Amino acid sequence: MADHGSSKDIVSLAYIGWLYLVQGIPYGLQDKFIPVQLRSKGLSYSSVSTLKVLFIPWATKGLWAPIIEVWGGRNRWLFIALLALGISAYTGSHIALENVFGIGCMLFFLNAFSAVQDVTVDGMAIQMLPEEQLGLGNSIQVVMYKVGWFVGGAGFTYLMSILDWSMTLVVLALTYLLTAIMVTVVSAKDDESSEEETKETKDKGQDDDEKHKELNHNDSQVNEILAILKDVVSTPGTLWLSIYVLLYKMGERGAVNNMPLFLLDRGMTKNQLALWNGTLSQGLSILGSLHGGIVSNKPHKIRDKLFYFSLYRFFSILLQFVLILMWNFNFFDEKDSLLTVYAVGVLSICSLSYSSGVISTVSFTLMMQTSRLCEKKTQASHYSLLASIEVAGKLLFAIIAGFIIDYAGIASSFATFAVLAIFPIYILQHIPVDLVHMKTE
């Protein structure tokens, strides 16, 4: 029985991991691949940053997550989202890469349906993972999402050297189609299991959970949605975590998005960026996420590790600011000095990526732990709200950062990024003691 349960857990984690992987591809496409392509064609920092507004579905998913929970069921919404993603990718294969408006429309639909997929998969993960596997589960979530991010970024760049733009999008469309078929098969098996459990329950008599479901079924769906929203807002720790996740990525995203563009302007090629900023830094980010998963299994170390790596991240951004300042003061005169600029730039990106990986996984584990304080029907919506706020913080500053660079200069902008990276450090020093899972031993 133990081996059977263990095998079932492995299959469940692999299933969730694959869904997070395909979900991360559009993000990598928009975050790593498209900006470099557009900047290489002469678009300004502010124009490239404006495309970040297409992430708006991710920032608003907390508002409509209760609707997904109440109407239709997760498996149905998941299938619809994957099918729509495949159609969006296939449609994009007929749009020229030079058509910025057309590419923008494709990215918007990819983001919208990926956000729907995210709500459904997060709900599955929260209910499937036992307390002792939260760290492992969040490592898989973040790591596999970043693998998808890598596929959509550096992976697309490499694939473009073999296939053209159109065929690359066709491959993506087929990936989503095959995943939708897989979801159909898995959901059919789940339905069979649910029917068997229901029969057993009726034979033994209805328990409290079954009665609770029947009562909810008799209530109006609108009142149920309102009840979910009320529970989401009133859950202990929500306000503190909302402030933290809103701010903790702002400075980092400004630096991560624009340091590669700075190196591109200094003469680094797109293929070099794909190697260093795409492959190496993403690999280190994944290693950081695995480290974060290990830390998350030791609750008494969570606060210290978050504080330490937030400080480490601040110094990485500070290094980037110093590098840009030295460039502006013509410290690097000779062509040979460009190698130093590239080396320091890549080093700072890599160190930033690793610390970001640790911070992300630990923070998402915190979010999931807090969401599990809600009633079962509310957990996915609560987690989606926190995730929406997290995306909103990243999105807001990712859009503004390009305009700050264009109008205030890149050195002043990176000084701002460094200052913003201090805020999470300050917040971590004031963690509420009533959050049990954050107490130190």
**DSSP-assigned letter for residue 12:** H
Q: Give the confidence band of 334 by pLDDT, cuts at 50, 70, 90.
A: low
User: Which amino acid is it at 209?
Assistant: D
The predicted model gives 146-151 an average pLDDT of: 82
The predicted model gives 422-432 an average pLDDT of: 84
- Tell me the pTM: 0.69
Phi and psi at residue 425, to the nearest 5°: -65, -40
Spatial CA neighbour of 134 closest among 304, 346, 373, 310: 373
Residues with Cβ within 8 Å of residue 62, at least 6 apart in sequence: 381, 384, 385, 386, 387, 388, 389
Look at the chain and count its residues: 441
DSSP structure string for 242-296: HHHHHHTTHHHHHHHHHHHHHHHHTT--HHHHIIIIIIIHHHHHHHHHHHHHHHH
Task: Spell out the alpha helix ranges (H) of 297-336.
Answer: 302-328
Supply the mean pLDDT for the chain: 78
Q: What is the 3 state secondary structure string of 53-110? A: HHHHHHHHHHHHHHHHHHCCCHHHHHHHHHHHHHHHHHHHCCCCCCCHHHHHHHHHHH
279-325 pLDDT, tens digit per residue, is: 788 788 888 988 888 877 776 677 788 899 999 999 999 999 999 98
**DSSP-assigned letter for residue 52:** G
Q: How many helices (H) and strands (E) does the chain have?
A: 20, 0
9-36 pLDDT, tens digit per residue, is: 677 788 888 998 998 888 877 776 777 6
- The count of other CB atoms within 10 Å of the CB of residue 335 is 8
CA distance 114 to 119: 9
The predicted model gives 410-426 an average pLDDT of: 91
CATH code that applies to domain 2-192+215-438: 1.20.1250.20
**DSSP-assigned letter for residue 95:** S
pLDDT for the residue 228: 67
CA distance 189 to 141: 23
220-247 pLDDT, tens digit per residue, is: 656 666 666 676 766 777 888 888 888 8
pLDDT for the residue 421: 92
> Where along the chain do its domains lie?
2-192+215-438
